[in-house]
Amino acid sequence: MTRRLPGNVGTVLIVGSDPFIVRQLETVLRASCTALSVTRAASLAEGISRIAADPADVILLDASLCETDGTEGVTKIARAAPASTIIAVVKQDGRTSVGELLEAGAHGCLVPGCLGSSLVPFLVAWGREQHRVWLTLGEVENSCYQIVQNSADAILAIRQDGTVLMANPVAERLFGKRASELIGESFGFPVVNDTPAQLTIPQTGRQSVIVDMRTTAMRWGGEIVSVASLRDVTEVATALSQRSEMLHGAILAIGRLTEIRDPYTAGHQHRVAGLAAAIAEKMELPQRDVEEIRTAGLLHDIGKMAIPTDILIAPRPLTQTERRLVESHPQVGHDVICEIPFLRSVAELVSQHHERLDGSGYPRHLKEGELLPGAKILAVADVVEAMASHRPYRQALGVDRALQEIRDNAGLLYDRDVVDACNAAFSDGLDIQDLTLEAAVSGE
Ligand SMILES: [Fe+2]
């Protein structure tokens, strides 16, 4: 058969299923010679079948398509197409012996990362010299492929229909399947580009793996795909979860301690926590802020531990000295809580929970622009819960009266948006009696 290599190459058959390699080969070939006829076969069997119908001048075989080291595939192709030029495409993974591939019948070997300028000259060289060529692979032009293959993270390309287009070796280990098994299958998780997500990947016979996933849209051949990078964060996530449990346990214990000492306000803190969190959620604050406000609610009156019980429960107007002592509790609470490093922002909220927009609050008489958003929420929740519940010196005034109070002073003492959100929460069926300590701590 007459060979027609560039500029007289006729047909090239690519046998491979790795879309990265196949597209790269196609792109290089087409860019090099527009007259070239390039066909594809996704499996060895399909390749041999195509060769039987019409042997190509050049056959590019992805050796990783074959079992073991690829020599068997080369032998089969060589037997089916004795007149064709066979080039094995190999990965630099140490598993494939180039010498054995050449011995099996390949005329040359290529590494995917070096295809850019090497492929066509290689074909020309072969056509002119008519002997086996060992291509020196010193030049790395397409480092992208090597980066993906050697990444410590799992990397997958996912089509818009949710099926996997490409998976690297770490992805193979993470999902317990070979890339050839993953490709074409559903990824199984929602993918939103540029939106980080945390996934739990079940594992056979061992603990699930928690991964942080980041996805980016990119053009892959003629289509837009999501390239997902999955990083194993199981250890960190487990440690954070344990820390969170410890924190909840500590807050629960402190909350109970406060209430044992001050039974008349039993339940006040956890109801304030639940109500404040409901208001924050109604205002669509980030979940992290909601949890911070909830924690501040659970601890906001901890400073009352420094006040003698008979003053706290006195069913009479307080003296000026007693009132000054009571009004010190936000600062005392702050000073206690800020000793815990990861509760410092909570401590600041606690210190501001009796402040008012017009500066009439205490202890620092802060004004609207000086108040933290969370403190404005805490202040409303505190007032509503306190008015709605029984106090040593008066009967409960009820939720309706409490809501009227904050509506009357919206924009004066209390933030208007917070007041609206609080009213909306009750309109949606919030029942202040459902806000138990356990519910407040667990966030449910
Ligand atoms: Fe208070």
| Residues 240, 227 share a domain | no
State how far the alpha carbon of 281 is from the alpha carbons of 15, 374, 409, 425, in Å. 56, 12, 22, 9
| Residues 247, 358 share a domain | yes
Distance (angstroms) between ligand 1 centre and the Cα of 312 equals 11
440 SS3 class: helix
Distance (angstroms) between ligand 1 centre and the Cα of 142 equals 64
pTM value is: 0.54
Distance (angstroms) between ligand 1 centre and the Cα of 258 equals 12
Q: Which domain holds residue 282?
A: 236-442
| Residues 285, 186 share a domain | no
Distance (angstroms) between ligand 1 centre and the Cα of 243 equals 27
Q: What average pLDDT does range 275-290 have in this prediction?
A: 95
| Residues 156, 221 share a domain | yes
Distance (angstroms) between ligand 1 centre and the Cα of 333 equals 9
Give the pair of three-digit tokens for residue 52: 């039987």
| Residues 245, 100 share a domain | no
Q: What average pLDDT does range 37-50 have in this prediction?
A: 88
Q: What average pLDDT does range 341-361 have in this prediction?
A: 94
> Residue 214: is its pLDDT beyond 70?
yes
Q: What average pLDDT does range 164-181 have in this prediction?
A: 88
Q: How far is CA 314 from the centre of its chain?
A: 52
Q: Which of 86-90, 96-100, 262-266, 400-404 has the lowest mean pLDDT?
A: 262-266
Of the spans 11-25, 149-163, 216-230, which averages the highest pLDDT?
A: 149-163
CATH at residue 215: 3.30.450.20
Q: What average pLDDT does range 399-425 have in this prediction?
A: 96
Q: Which of 38-42, 240-244, 429-433, 438-442 has the lowest mean pLDDT?
A: 438-442
Q: Where does a domain end: 186, 202, 232? A: 232
CA atoms within 13 A on the CB side of 153: 16
pLDDT of residue 140: 32
Distance (angstroms) between ligand 1 centre and the Cα of 288 equals 23
**Total structural domains within the chain:** 3
| Residues 227, 247 share a domain | no
Distance (angstroms) between ligand 1 centre and the Cα of 406 equals 17
Distance (angstroms) between ligand 1 centre and the Cα of 252 equals 18
Q: Where does a domain end: 197, 214, 232? A: 232
- Whose tokens are 């109604």? That residue is 282
**Confidence at 3, pLDDT banded by 50, 70, 90:** very low
Distance (angstroms) between ligand 1 centre and the Cα of 43 equals 72
Q: Which of 118-132, 151-165, 300-314, 395-409 has the lowest mean pLDDT?
A: 118-132
Could you tell me if residue 335 is inside a domain? Answer: yes
Q: What average pLDDT does range 170-192 have in this prediction?
A: 90
**Cβ(415)–Cβ(376) below 8 Å:** yes
> Residue 186: is its pLDDT beyond 90?
yes
Of the spans 11-20, 212-221, 279-288, 388-397, which averages the highest pLDDT?
A: 279-288
